[in-house]
Amino acid sequence: MNQVLNNLKHSAIDWRMALMALVLVVISVIFNVLSDGIFFSPENLYNIAQQTAVVGILATVMVLIIVARHIDLSVGSVMGFVGVLIAFLMYTMNWSWPAASLAGLGAAILVAMYQGALTAFIGVPSFVVTLGGLMSFRGAAYLVAQGKTQPLSDPFFLTLGGGYNGGIGTQASWIVGAVICAGILFNRLTQRRAKIRFDVPVNPFWLDTILALIPCVLVVAFVAIMNAYQIPNKPDAQGIPIPVLIWGAVAGLMGFIVRRTRFGRYIFAMGGNPDAAALVGIPVKKVTMMLFLLLAVLVTVAAIVAISRLNAGTNSLGNSLELLVIAATVIGGTALAGGSGTIVGSVLGALIMQCIDSGMLLLDVSIGTRYVVIGQVLIAAVVFDVAYRKWTGDTQ
Amino acid sequence: MSTQTEQCLVELTNINKAFGGVHAVENVNLNLYPGEVVAVLGHNGAGKSTLMKMLAGAYPIDSGDVRIKGEKVHVRTPADAQRLGIESIYQTLALADNLDSVANLFLGRELLTQWNTLDDLRMDADARKVFQRLNKNFKNYHTPVRRLSGGQRQVVAISRAIYFNAQILIMDEPTAALGPEETAMVAKLIEQLKAEGVGIFLISHDMHDVFALSDRLAVMKNGKLVGTYRTQDVTEDEVLGMIILGKKPEGKPETHRPAR
């Protein structure tokens, strides 16, 4: 037994992440009991997954921004601006959706180059640059269409935000699930083999097996739930909603960037010690600029999902979204001081927030109370963060 | 006599640097030969760290020439310096505290796989060898370096110079945060590197270190070079006189040649 405990202690398990997952489970169970089982109904879980996508997509990149000791307060406004622009080009200008989306991406990149250059090359704190951006781009979102709502009708484009035809169907869902599981198992196995080859200590085989199977079980369970949801008068079940698929792809890509690329490592180094990063020859300014450009790409993706979900672009799109995104990031364990944070954490953080919000909505809690609670959840998350770091000695 | 014809490793000529109106470094000339330790001394703010940071590419040089092995070079960024074989161990150690020791060793110069992704396993394996060479007891490969002791952090900083085969090494107060055992390790390492022909600039306040480790010493005051002497030619009091008063010791020859 001691041997087992020792293995668990020294294995590379992220206990903090495990604890957050536990919090998510506990919250859901409580809501499920209080709502007489409605919370765990496939329909509700489907909606939560779909609603979390926009915040979730932006939270994955916000992790990197905050890790690099920056902040972006303008994500909501820029997303609104880009979203309205895309919708305007499609509705008023009759552009096709790919052309409009590319134009939106171009606009987002211009915004990122402007804000990124001010931050990286001139050294204006990103807090100030993006605080200005928060106002300016909200205004720009209005100016694009003079405040008029731009409805969308392209049937394919509308599936990107989920909704009636926004699931990929049961068969495709199982295929996606199987591919992901195979990918996880293959990845774990090759890593284990490579570690043994290079004489790096490995976990015992049973532990690695469990660690590889847990995510697979979660994926299968998720697919099963999404496949269990059938909109009444529709012949087939929904399957995985497309926005969630997009979110998953984004999270996977960002996880890859963080763990496997120089760019990701430099962002963490800059957040841990900016002076050291410069002294060892990391091109700090260039990396900061690239980070803003990456942000632009994901803001565009989020904007597309958001207007498609709404079936329209409006000038209030993404209002106060920055707060939700930053809250999800922080609840997910990203330290505002920079230098630490994980993509998986941001996914959990976004889910925890959305579960609390949706759960309270199910229970008919008033909007005022919901705001009060969510605000305090954010503070509780930071208190936990501080306590956890003290306890593990990871003070910065 | 062979030293007479030996090629100079580093030649700094008329180096100037000003921060705003303050002349941090003024017309400094200094050179370094292979297998030699030159101690750079002076008060805080005398300009020694600034001079070394210019050689390391951390600060741009206002005017003056840098020659490496006789060839004129432009060191504009730390990456330029690294390409020229110049490695620095800073007093602050320049470690990213949130990353582990392996990541810090390779920081800015990660080994990549054929797909341009980080080759963690190769870095891991290589790092173990270097750390073992410096300290047999070093085991914390995958804890963030903020949790390591002063000596272990120093091992990580020094390992960069070893792994990337420094030809010119700048050490800024390498033993300031170390215990006696670790100080002895650094001294042994310096001897070893000298034997391999590495040239070392040693910035230190510790007179014992300076006299035990250096072949020559250069003293700076208020951004100017007071003088360069063979360490064996001068006494501790004379060195302190140069540092504090900027007074050249009488009757002692200045030298720009290695001590041997």
The predicted-structure confidence for A282-330, as pLDDT tens digits, reads as follows 999 999 999 999 999 999 999 999 999 999 999 999 998 999 999 999 9
Mutate to test the interface with A, among B98, B111, B112 (most CBs of A within 10 A): B98
pLDDT in tens, B73-96: 999 999 999 999 999 998 888 999
Q: How confident is the model at residue A14 (pLDDT cuts 50, 70, 90)?
A: confident
Residues of A in contact with B52 (CB under 8 A): none
**What 3-state class would DSSP assign to A3?**
helix
Span A376-385, average pLDDT: 88
Q: How many CB pairs under 8 A join A and B?
A: 92
The alpha-helical segments, DSSP class H, found in B18-77 are 48-55
Specify the pLDDT at position A393.
Answer: 67
Compute the nearest-CA separation of B77 from chain A (Å).
Answer: 7
Rounded distance between C-alpha atoms, residue A253 and residue A269, angstroms: 20
**Does residue B256 register a pLDDT over 80?**
no
* CATH number (domain holding residue A327): 1.10.3470
Residue-averaged pLDDT of chain A: 92
Residue B28 pairs in a beta bridge with B15
**Does residue A226 register a pLDDT over 80?**
yes
Residue-averaged pLDDT of chain B: 89
Residue A305 lies in a domain: yes
Residues of B in contact with A280 (CB under 8 A): 78, 94, 107-109, 160
Rounded distance between C-alpha atoms, residue A292 and residue A125, angstroms: 14
Residue A41 lies in a domain: yes
Whether residue A275 and residue B94 make contact (CB cut-off 8 A), yes or no, is yes
Specify the pLDDT at position B13.
Answer: 93
Q: Considering A191, A207, A239, which residue would you say is the last residue of a domain?
A: A239
Same domain, A255 and A235: no
Pairing mode, if any, of strands B10-19 and B216-221? unpaired
Q: Say which DSSP state B144 is in.
A: B
Rounded distance between C-alpha atoms, residue A125 and residue A283, angstroms: 18
Same domain, A226 and A265: no
What is the distance of C-alpha B84 from the center of its chain?
A: 14
Q: Which residue among A198, A282, A340 sits closest to B124, beta carbon to beta carbon? A: A198
Whether residue A276 and residue B144 make contact (CB cut-off 8 A), yes or no, is no
Q: Which domain holds residue A202?
A: 168-239
Residues of A in contact with B57 (CB under 8 A): 281
Whether residue A198 and residue B110 make contact (CB cut-off 8 A), yes or no, is no
What is the token pair recorded at A185? 């198992």
Q: How confident is the model at residue A2 (pLDDT cuts 50, 70, 90)?
A: low
Query: Quick check: ipTM above 0.90?
Result: no
Number of helices (H), then strands (E), belonging to chain B: the values are 9, 10
Q: Considering A219, A239, A259, which residue would you say is the last residue of a domain?
A: A239
Same domain, A148 and A273: yes
Residue A6 lies in a domain: no
Span A84-100, average pLDDT: 96
Whether residue B118 and residue A195 make contact (CB cut-off 8 A), yes or no, is no
Whether residue B117 and residue A260 make contact (CB cut-off 8 A), yes or no, is yes
Specify the pLDDT at position A396.
Answer: 47
- Per-residue CA distances from A183 to A212, A252, A255, B115 (Å): 10, 11, 14, 18
* Rounded (10°) angle between helices A126-144 and A97-117: 150
Q: Which residue among A200, A265, A273 sits closest to B110, beta carbon to beta carbon? A: A265
Same domain, A184 and A154: no
Same domain, A235 and A332: no
Q: Which residue has the higher pLDDT, B5 or A369?
A: A369
* Rounded (10°) angle between helices A321-331 and A42-67: 80
Mutate to test the interface with B, among A279, A282, A285, A390 (most CBs of B within 10 A): A279
Compute the nearest-CA separation of B163 from chain A (Å).
Answer: 14
Under a CB-based contact definition with an 8 Å cutoff, are residues A329 and A157 in contact?
A: no
Span A100-126, average pLDDT: 97
Residues of B in contact with A286 (CB under 8 A): none
Name the one residue in this structure whose structure tokens are 């499920």.
Answer: A32
Rounded distance between C-alpha atoms, residue B183 and residue B206, angstroms: 12
Compute the nearest-CA separation of A282 from chain B (Å).
Answer: 5
CA-based end-to-end distance of chain B: 9
Residues of B in contact with A194 (CB under 8 A): 121
Residue A221 lies in a domain: yes
Compute the nearest-CA separation of B244 from chain A (Å).
Answer: 30
Whether residue A260 and residue B78 make contact (CB cut-off 8 A), yes or no, is no
Rounded distance between C-alpha atoms, residue B70 and residue B8, angstroms: 7
pLDDT in tens, B115-141: 999 998 889 889 999 998 888 888 888
Specify the pLDDT at position B3.
Answer: 46
Rounded distance between C-alpha atoms, residue A162 and residue A305, angstroms: 8
What's the pTM value of the predicted model, to 2 decimals?
A: 0.91
Same domain, A287 and A337: yes
> Considering only A126-135, A222-231, A245-254, B242-251, which range has the smallest mean pLDDT?
B242-251
Specify the pLDDT at position A163.
Answer: 80
**Does residue B5 register a pLDDT over 80?**
no
Whether residue B108 and residue A280 make contact (CB cut-off 8 A), yes or no, is yes
Compute the nearest-CA separation of A211 from chain B (Å).
Answer: 19
Whether residue A279 and residue B58 make contact (CB cut-off 8 A), yes or no, is yes
Residue A135 lies in a domain: yes
Residue A13 lies in a domain: no
Same domain, A359 and A232: no
Specify the pLDDT at position B255.
Answer: 80
* Rounded (10°) angle between helices A367-392 and A343-362: 150
Residue A9 lies in a domain: no
Q: Considering A201, A221, A239, which residue would you say is the last residue of a domain?
A: A239
Q: How confident is the model at residue A390 (pLDDT cuts 50, 70, 90)?
A: confident
**Does residue B2 register a pLDDT over 60?**
no
Residues of A in contact with B142 (CB under 8 A): 12
Q: How confident is the model at residue A1 (pLDDT cuts 50, 70, 90)?
A: low
The structural domain count of chain A equals 2
Span A275-280, average pLDDT: 93
Same domain, A112 and A215: no
Same domain, A280 and A325: yes
**Does residue A379 register a pLDDT over 50?**
yes
Same domain, A86 and A133: yes
Domain architecture of chain B: domains with CATH: 2-85+166-245 (3.40.50.300), 97-157 (no CATH)
**Does residue A201 register a pLDDT over 80?**
no
**Does residue A128 register a pLDDT over 70?**
yes
Whether residue A260 and residue B108 make contact (CB cut-off 8 A), yes or no, is no
Specify the pLDDT at position A227.
Answer: 93
Specify the pLDDT at position A394.
Answer: 63
Q: What residues contact residue A23 under an 8 Å CB cut-off, 6+ apart?
A: A352
Span A48-62, average pLDDT: 95
Compute the nearest-CA separation of A372 from chain B (Å).
Answer: 34
Same domain, A195 and A284: no
**Does residue A359 register a pLDDT over 90?**
yes
Q: Which residue among A280, A393, A394 sits closest to B94, beta carbon to beta carbon? A: A280
Query: What length does chain A have?
Result: 396
Residue B39 pairs in a beta bridge with B202, B217
Same domain, A201 and A59: no
The alpha-helical segments, DSSP class H, found in B73-149 are 78-83, 101-105, 120-134
Cβ-based interface (< 8 Å): residues of B facing A: 56-58, 77-79, 81-82, 88, 90, 92-99, 103, 107-110, 112, 116-118, 121-122, 124-125, 142, 144, 146-147, 160
Q: What is the spatial order of strands in the sheet that B199-203 belongs to?
A: B86-89, B168-172, B199-203, B37-41, B216-221, B224-230
Q: How confident is the model at residue A204 (pLDDT cuts 50, 70, 90)?
A: confident
Residue A388 lies in a domain: yes
Name the one residue in this structure whose structure tokens are 């532990």.
Answer: A207
Sign of the C-alpha dihedral, residues A246, A249, A254, A257?
negative
Whether residue A198 and residue B95 make contact (CB cut-off 8 A), yes or no, is no
Whether residue B112 and residue A262 make contact (CB cut-off 8 A), yes or no, is yes
Query: What length does chain B have?
Result: 260
Specify the pLDDT at position B1.
Answer: 37
Q: Say which DSSP state B146 is in.
A: G
**What 3-state class would DSSP assign to A319?**
coil
Span B38-48, average pLDDT: 91
Specify the pLDDT at position A295.
Answer: 97
Q: How confident is the model at residue B4 (pLDDT cuts 50, 70, 90)?
A: very low
Whether residue A272 and residue B99 make contact (CB cut-off 8 A), yes or no, is yes
Specify the pLDDT at position B259.
Answer: 56
Span B237-252, average pLDDT: 88
**Does residue B21 register a pLDDT over 80?**
yes
Q: What percent of chain A has pLDDT over 70?
A: 96
Span B140-159, average pLDDT: 87
Specify the pLDDT at position A138.
Answer: 96
Q: How confident is the model at residue A10 (pLDDT cuts 50, 70, 90)?
A: low
